[in-house]
Structure 1
């Protein structure tokens, strides 16, 4: 079974990094309401649009999602 997006995102955490996906992961870790069990792009995207004030741009999510897909397809 493949990982949820949140599980993937947690592999990108790095408190020492200023890389956008690492910062996204660091902030999502502290977001108690993040849809942790989801593998659905639209569900996570909608959640972040409404609640992801720690995300400077949805492009960061799009880049992270593409990385997630690339890992799950190999």
Structure 2
């Protein structure tokens, strides 16, 4: 069974790194509505489009999603 995207994203949190994936992870951690159990690209993408004002462009999510898939396989 694969872990949720949120679980993966939390491995990218870091108070010292300054890259866009780390900023995304740090902000998602503070987002109480983030779909924490989801493994579904469409569900998370839709959520971020409607509620992810902290993510400046969806390409950041796409890059994080690719890393998630690589790590899970």
TM normalised by structure 1 equals: 0.96
Tell me which residue corresponds to 2:15: 15
**CA deviation after TM superposition for structure 1 residue 18, in Å:** 1.3
Q: What number of residue pairs does the alignment pair up?
A: 73
RMSD over aligned CA atoms reads 0.5
**Partner residue, 2:47:** 47
**Any idea what the Cα deviations from partners look like across 1:11-64, whole Å, max 9, x if unmatched?**
000111210000000000000000000000000000000000000110000000
Q: CA shift at 1:71, angstroms? A: 0.8
